[in-house]
Amino acid sequence: MNETTRGPAVADKAATTDEPYLELRGVTVRHGERTVVSGIDLTLRPGEFLALLGPSGCGKSSLLQVLAGLARVAGGSLRLDGADATEGLGQRVRVGYVFQDHRLLPWRTVGQNIEIAMKAAGVPKAEWDERIDRFLSMLRVAEHRTAWPMRLSGGQRQRVSIARALAVDPDIVLMDEPFSGLDEVTARAMRQELTRLHETTAVPTLFVTHSIREALFLADRVVILSQGPARVLKTLDVPLVRPRRHEDSALTRLADEVVADVLREWEPTEGPAS
Ligand SMILES: Nc1ncnc2c1ncn2[C@@H]1O[C@H](COP(=O)(O)OP(=O)(O)OP(=O)(O)O)[C@@H](O)[C@H]1O
Ligand SMILES: [Mg+2]
């Protein structure tokens, strides 16, 4: 599907139901003997923007890697569109994955990095040029199309990796703290762009962050995770109307409430985690 065939936001949003698109049942992730994610249940609905909010080191990236099929679940199961997807979502649908550490190939230019991803995803070659241009422009890095990744700043690389994930015309988007390397002004502009894009395409999106305000600004629902090994503390329906504004006092109040709620849970524990 592309943006045109997905249709306008209103139609897609109207199609949003309580039937999950993606369902995690008791998902446990281990690195060796160590459990880093402990029996997570969660759902992502069609067209939904879901934020996974958790403290540093709690297991968010480990969970996304399992979803993408880059690591195996140690327990539990994944279901996608009603069918088993425990081996990873990439086996069944096109996944747009923004890695926390961008993972651009250093020996390919920015444009070539995006081409490689589109080729692997089966995007017709005739669309490559326009897609590269569109998403690099959206992420405000179009002038770096022929540059080597090493010549870019960390934030520019991060934006190229977002462009790469979106250019593959994904069925589902997994984003791992994509704006953490950006200054606040650029990050705000990027969040606005991402919101606009999601309103147009309604591609189900799982967005990992440790920023409470960012989660509340972007998401329809926020799943709040505990200190590692991550488990779900609570799920919050974000009651803020759209379009949202970063300066909105209701957002600030809600963020303060969430902070007060999770403060004790997120306090670093002494000694090594189990
Ligand atoms: N490949 C690995 N091998 C062994 N342990 C790992 C590996 N990757 C991560 N870990 C450990 O698993 C735990 C969870 O790491 P993870 O990267 O998933 O956390 P996170 O929530 O994404 O943190 P952050 O917000 O800092 O990115 C950490 O204690 C980390 O040290
Ligand atoms: Mg991480």
Residue 181: pLDDT band with limits 50, 70, 90: confident
Nearest ligand to residue 211 Cα: 1
Average pLDDT over residues 111-122: 96
Atom of ligand 1 lying closest to residue 273 CA: 29
| Closest atom of ligand 1 relative to the 230 alpha carbon | 21
CA 20 – CA 82 distance, rounded (Å): 8
pLDDT-derived band at 269 (thresholds 50, 70, 90) equals: low
Which H or E run contains 118?
A: helix 110-121
Indicate if ligand 1 lies below 6 Å from the C-beta of 178. no
**How far away, in angstroms, is 45 Cα from ligand 2 center?**
23
- Which residue, judged by its Cα, is nearest atom 9 of ligand 1? 62
Q: What pLDDT band is residue 52 in, cutting at 50, 70 and 90? A: very high
Span from the CA of 93 to the centroid of ligand 2 (angstroms): 23
Phi and psi angles of residue 13, each rounded to the nearest 5 degrees, phi first: -65, -35
Tens digits of per-residue pLDDT, 87-109? 999 989 999 999 999 899 999 99
Q: What is the mean pLDDT of the chain?
A: 91
- State if residue 54 touches ligand 1 by the CB under 6 angstroms criterion: yes
Two tokens, residue 143 = 């002038």
- CA 59 / ligand 2 centre spacing (Å): 7
* Alpha carbon distances (Å) from 120 to 3, 113, 217, 231: 19, 11, 33, 34
Q: Is residue 36 lining ligand 1, measured as CB closer than 6 Å?
A: yes
Mutational pocket test of ligand 1: of 35, 36, 97, the residue with most ligand atoms within 8 Å of the beta carbon: 36
Residue 236 has pLDDT above 70, yes or no: yes
pTM over 0.85: yes
Closest residue by Cα to atom 26, ligand 1, is: 56
For 186-226, how does the pLDDT look when each residue is reduced to its tens digit (9 = 90+)? Answer: 999 999 989 999 999 999 999 999 999 999 999 999 999 99
Residue 203's CB is within 10 A of a number of other CB atoms, namely 23
Phi/psi for 124 (5° steps) reads -55, 140
Q: What is the pLDDT of residue 176?
A: 97
pLDDT digits (tens, 9 = 90+) for 161-177: 999 999 999 999 999 99
C-beta pairs of 12-16 under 8 Å, 24+ apart in sequence = 12/47, 12/201, 12/202, 13/47, 13/202, 15/46, 15/47, 15/202, 16/45, 16/46, 16/47, 16/48, 16/202
Q: How far, in Å, CA of 24 to CA of 31, rounded?
A: 19
| Nearest protein Cα to ligand 1, atom 25 | 56
Ligand (nearest to CA of 228):
1
pLDDT at 14 over 70: no
Token readout for 101 is: 């550490």
pLDDT at residue 17, rounded to an integer:
59
Question: Residue 11 — very low, low, confident or very high, per pLDDT cuts 50/70/90?
Answer: very low
d(CA 16, CA 257): 28
Tell me the Ramachandran region of residue 192: left when phi exceeds 0, alpha when psi lies from -120 to 50, beta otherwise. Answer: alpha
pLDDT for the residue 268 = 74
Ligand found nearest the CA of 66: 1
Q: How far apart, in whole angstroms, are the C-alpha atoms of residue 220 and residue 235?
A: 11
Q: Which ligand is nearest to the CA of 99?
A: 2
Name which residue sits closest to atom 29 of ligand 1, judged by CA.
57
Single out the residue of 233, 206, 230, 200 nearest to residue 218, CA to CA. Answer: 206
Residue 70 predicted with pLDDT over 90: yes
* CA 65 to ligand 2 center in whole angstroms: 10
